[in-house]
Amino acid sequence: MRPMFSQLVRSLACVMLSVAVCGAADKKTENKVAPTSVDTGTFTIIVSGHKVASETFHVDQHPDGSTISSELKTDDPGLSKAVQNSEMSMQPNGLLKKYTWKEVTPGKSQIVVEPQDESFMVSHVTENATTPAKDTVHALAPGTSILDENFYSHMEVLTWKYMAFGCKQNAQGQTECKWLPLRMPIFVPHQQQSAIAEMTYKGMTKMNYNGKEQEFKTFSLVLEDPSDFKAEGGNCLLWFNDENKLVRVLIASDNMEVLRD
């Protein structure tokens, strides 16, 4: 197993999950103040061969949890200029603290999702700057993952959760992973709907990336809709490099491809 992979899974397991892989890491890091960058980069979003938008994102680990912040900008001359940003904060055990999505331009709408208690989440939806928020309560535990279809960094974090679920330390102290299909509850903020995301490890596949052929871990992500709603990215393939960073997403049904710059 690559050292980088073992370190990343261990780190993410401590950030996302409360599992045995963490050991005593929390006590060693609780006095640190400066956040640790887990990943940062830009995804280019391509539809039918044309660049339409880009997402710049940062995933940071803090002593009291982690944050995933993103900004989405449209780049297609045929589309009106739009800017959206989001921030998701989680506790060290992976439970949601708060998720905030904001439309910066052309409108001023906002969605805030946060746990109400151990069994329910509340969503505050504001359509514009002059109207009060509309609150809806959902029977979802704080362990439910946020999957905003506008931000592909959320797919990366969801896959890290899947990886961490399948990894544990053996008797020799080494990290071993066995990735079986896993169904995880998610909430799609813009649809105001919950769903089940089924993640499956498809094995190592070769792909030409940055001008040379390389091998990547490949995963499939399928949203099992409990109702009639259809979320973007409901059936896609994801490629991760040897540093376990998302480099490509393919949504064939929408003729959409997402590439890390």
Tens of pLDDT along 141-200? 999 999 998 899 999 999 999 998 888 888 888 888 899 999 999 999 999 999 999 999
Whether omega for the bond prior to residue 181 falls within 30 degrees of 0, making it cis, is no
Q: Is the pLDDT of residue 16 over 80?
A: no
**Number of residues that make up the chain:** 261
Q: Quickly list DSSP for 7-65.
A: HHHHHHHHHH---GGGTTHHHHHTT--S-EEEEEEEEEEEETTEEEEEEEEEEEEETTE
Comparing 151 with 3, which gets the higher pLDDT?
151
pTM score of the predicted model? 0.85
**Is the CB of residue 234 less than 8 Å from the CB of residue 191?**
no
CA distance 71 to 243: 23
Q: Where are the domains of the chain?
A: 3-65+144-260
